[in-house]
Structure 1
Amino acid sequence: MSGIIYATYGILIISFLALAHEFGHFLIARISNIPVEEFAIGFGPTIYEHKPKETNGMKFKIGLFPILGYVKIKGMEDNYDDPESFYNRGFFAKFFTILGGPLMNLVVAIIIFGIVFGSFGNPLSPTTTIASVVKGSPAEIAGLKPGDTILKVNDLKIRTWSELVNAIQENKENIATIEIKRENEILKIQVVPKFDPTQKKWMIGISPKGEVYSTGKSFIEGMKWTFSTLFQMFTFLPKLFTRAGVTSITGPIGIISMTGEAASAGFLNLLFFIAYISIALAFTNLLPIPPLDGSWLIIIIAEGVSGRKIPKDLTAKIQSIALIFMLILMFVVSINDILKLINK
């Protein structure tokens, strides 16, 4: 049953991030006064259709299978001759309409990171407060609990998590007297560290709570994390052309499987996973490969530099051919994901 639940999580997460991406295109198109013909949630036969009066004839549709979605902007697939269509609009209107999708995915990641840092704390800025205790660990046996703040180890004052780690390493297998603050009480608890051969460290089985930021700082740090992650993805790009890089590519099936692993590791891990997938979706769409957003951006920039429009028929033909190759690639990646699941 858990497998079905995790698969549902995965499908919902992918659909949410895809719809956020399409909403980004929709929002900038509307701001730029470029007509939007359809905004659809899901695919298959239409089970619900609505034409809001304030959207100038745009259709809002829900498909039989409410997974993923799309936005159809006038003048990207047809209606090229309409003066209000995408094809006939200015550089900035077209550029930011296309960029709106990846930007919305980055905004989603920033919001998630901001919520995490403001509510749970930054895991890269650990405090001396315990966030979790490993079941069956020396810490749990001794009676340490989440929320305890470590003050001293063997009378050595602890100010940072790294000082705690060093104190445990120096203590080795001896009994460590740990002074903690629990709510309004000061307690002393004796713990016997255990050597972990995989990490080659003496450990007691606790993890730190990250520093919790103010609302403003949370979203500033969320922005830093988002763009730092995006930059790392671009630096990894050359490795994708190696054999190891190709086999590391993951499709929807792989993402659904990874969602299950992230969900089983806890709600906080799942939030981080969603944020990273959202950044990965932005990164993928920024690649200059037809029919991804990046290829449209290259076309728009080329038109802006040359001062001439690339023939619409040529653009449509390139996008159509590339779409076939993308579908083949997705098929191969999905097969690879299935094989990975079988071999687990």
Structure 2
Amino acid sequence: MLESPGIAFTVFAFLLVLGPLVFVHEYGHYIVGRWCGVKADAFSIGFGRKIVGWTDKRGTLWKIGWLPLGGYVQFAGDRDAVSQPDAEWQSLPAAERAHSFPAQPVWKRALIVAAGPVTNFLFAILILAGFALVYGASQTPAIVGAVDPGRPAAAAGLEPGDRILSVNGRPTEVFEDVQMAIAFGLAQPARLSVERDGETLSLTLTPQIITRTDDFGNKAEVAIIGVRSGSPVYTRLGPIAALGHGAEQTAGFVRMTGAVLGQFLSGARSIKDMGGPIRIAKTSGEAATVGFEQLIYFAAFISINLGFINLLPLPMLDGGHLAFYAYEAVRRRPASMQVQEWAFRFGFVAIVLLMLVVTFNDLGSIGAWDGIARLIG
């Protein structure tokens, strides 16, 4: 078992992951805002008091805040870091007002807001494409190499040599597609389309939940059916094919994230599985201990999650702004300021509650509650 990294190394690895991802996200907003002719008053990595900062020739204050858990771009006409319009923006001189964010047509505002999450997805695609270029992409066919006795696959009649064509209607091109479809489907029945001796069979089985322990002693419940692939096959890809592979992998991670979110909302998955900054920091340190490549791959996964979460239609998030812009585009007028104010209050409360939940879970994942219980006992 690998030794867990120290606190200093973990914090360093966490900042090495989060800092560039926040910069990429906010730079997406910033650069599209510039393209749309909107002035940025501030570009901040982190929140709170400024540690270091400078003002460029365009009048944008670039700064680093002391709380490195996010960032923001504040455009001209914004009241705060979440782009609520300043009540005084209409009283700006005409030349300044023309370059303010609220003065832009709804399509420009939507483009600027969507650019942050989209840039996170593009960043992940580039990372995953880079791995495919350097190390090759898995092309291991979705063919059963071995069936573990006593597991669901054996009970359902799967045999070595069977090609798994799809799981729950989703095609499985490579063996990893099968593993991902099963692992994140919990213990729900899975419908497999299988090719055997030129015939197509339909099999239904219920995955088995087991507890796996990684090299750092972390335990996680995963679903398995008890099949193994043949010899792994990796193929080096050219630049264009690598980009396509990166896009496919990113889309797969987005689908997986959406499925997990649906499981949380439906109650199929416990909220105890939710993690936040502390767990991300812990995993960053462990990934860095394994190797720099593993840390970069983890950064791609977090970038996808950051993009996905920001697109959720919650006020204060990019998705919440986009929902208001969609309303404005359909109704030809923005929602009233009172409605927007109450929506942002609701969003703030929802995000605070979510942070409390994930922080509680995170502290449990590092043994804080067990330590307190031992002290009390």
**TM-score w.r.t. structure 1 length?**
0.70
Asked if structure 2 preserves the Cα contact closer than 8 Å seen for 1:251 and 1:333, the reply is yes
- The match for 1:140 is none
Aligned residue among 30, 37, 42 for 1:38: 42
Superposed displacement of residue 117, structure 1: 0.4
CA separation of 1:96 and 1:245: change in aligned 2, threshold 3 A: farther
Superposed displacement of residue 217, structure 1: 1.3
Q: Which residue type is aligned with residue 17 of structure 2?
A: I
- The match for 2:12 is 8
Q: Which residue type is aligned with residue 6 of structure 2?
A: G
Asked if structure 2 preserves the Cα contact closer than 8 Å seen for 1:122 and 1:211, the reply is yes
Superposed displacement of residue 328, structure 1: 2.9
Asked if structure 1 preserves the Cα contact closer than 8 Å seen for 2:273 and 2:361, the reply is no
Distance in 2, Cα, partners of 1:217 & 1:227:
15
Superposed displacement of residue 6, structure 1: 2.7
Asked if structure 2 preserves the Cα contact closer than 8 Å seen for 1:15 and 1:69, the reply is no
CA separation of 1:237 and 1:328: change in aligned 2, threshold 3 A: closer
- Structure having the higher Rg: 1
The CA deviation string for residues 15-50 of structure 1, in whole angstroms up to 9 with x for no partner, is: 221221111111111111122110012334324332
Alignment gaps of 5+ in structure 2? 78-82, 142-173, 176-223, 372-377
Q: Which residue type is aligned with residue 323 of structure 1?
A: F
Asked if structure 1 preserves the Cα contact closer than 8 Å seen for 2:5 and 2:286, the reply is no
Aligned residue among 288, 293, 297 for 1:263: 288
Distance in 2, Cα, partners of 1:124 & 1:277:
24
SS in 2 for 1:34: coil
The CA deviation string for residues 251-282 of structure 1, in whole angstroms up to 9 with x for no partner, is: 00011112233233333332221111110111
Q: Which residue type is aligned with residue 7 of structure 1?
A: V
SS in 1 for 2:46: strand
The CA deviation string for residues 154-174 of structure 1, in whole angstroms up to 9 with x for no partner, is: xxxxxxx99xxxxxxxxxxxx
- The match for 2:262 is 238
- Aligned residue pairs total 271
Distance in 1, Cα, partners of 2:116 & 2:232:
36
CA separation of 1:320 and 1:117: change in aligned 2, threshold 3 A: same
SS in 2 for 1:41: strand
Superposed displacement of residue 320, structure 1: 3.5
Pair 1:24-2:28 in alignment:
yes
- The match for 2:328 is 303
Pair 1:314-2:329 in alignment:
no
- The match for 1:48 is 52
Superposed displacement of residue 340, structure 1: 1.8
- The match for 2:192 is none
CA separation of 1:124 and 1:258: change in aligned 2, threshold 3 A: farther
Distance in 1, Cα, partners of 2:121 & 2:228:
39
CA separation of 1:15 and 1:209: change in aligned 2, threshold 3 A: farther
Give me the CA root mean square deviation.
Answer: 3.0
- The match for 1:63 is 65
Superposed displacement of residue 335, structure 1: 1.5
- The match for 1:143 is none
Q: Show structure 1 runs of 4+ deviating over 6 A.
A: 198-203
Distance in 2, Cα, partners of 1:92 & 1:297:
10
Distance in 1, Cα, partners of 2:76 & 2:339:
18
- The match for 1:229 is 253
The CA deviation string for residues 50-78 of structure 1, in whole angstroms up to 9 with x for no partner, is: 2222x2x2212233456643211223332
Asked if structure 1 preserves the Cα contact closer than 8 Å seen for 2:46 and 2:66, the reply is yes
- The match for 1:121 is 136
Distance in 1, Cα, partners of 2:60 & 2:227:
61
Distance in 2, Cα, partners of 1:121 & 1:41:
34
The CA deviation string for residues 60-119 of structure 1, in whole angstroms up to 9 with x for no partner, is: 223345664321122333244254322231122011111011011001101100110000
CA separation of 1:303 and 1:245: change in aligned 2, threshold 3 A: farther
Q: Which residue type is aligned with residue 72 of structure 2?
A: Y
The 5-angstrom pairing of residues 135-150 of structure 1 reads none
**TM-score w.r.t. structure 2 length?**
0.64
Q: Which residue type is aligned with residue 282 of structure 2?
A: S
Aligned residue among 81, 101, 121 for 1:106: 121
CA separation of 1:312 and 1:35: change in aligned 2, threshold 3 A: farther
CA separation of 1:73 and 1:13: change in aligned 2, threshold 3 A: same
Distance in 2, Cα, partners of 1:207 & 1:263:
28
Pair 1:91-2:106 in alignment:
yes
The CA deviation string for residues 226-269 of structure 1, in whole angstroms up to 9 with x for no partner, is: 12221232233321111634222110001111223323333333
Could you tell me the percent identity over the aligned residues? 28
Distance in 1, Cα, partners of 2:289 & 2:270:
27
The CA deviation string for residues 265-305 of structure 1, in whole angstroms up to 9 with x for no partner, is: 33333222111111011111111112111111110011001
Distance in 2, Cα, partners of 1:254 & 1:208:
31
User: Which segment drifts farther, 301-310 or 240-249?
Assistant: 240-249
Distance in 2, Cα, partners of 1:291 & 1:96:
17
The 5-angstrom pairing of residues 286-297 of structure 1 reads 286-297=311-322
Distance in 2, Cα, partners of 1:333 & 1:278:
18
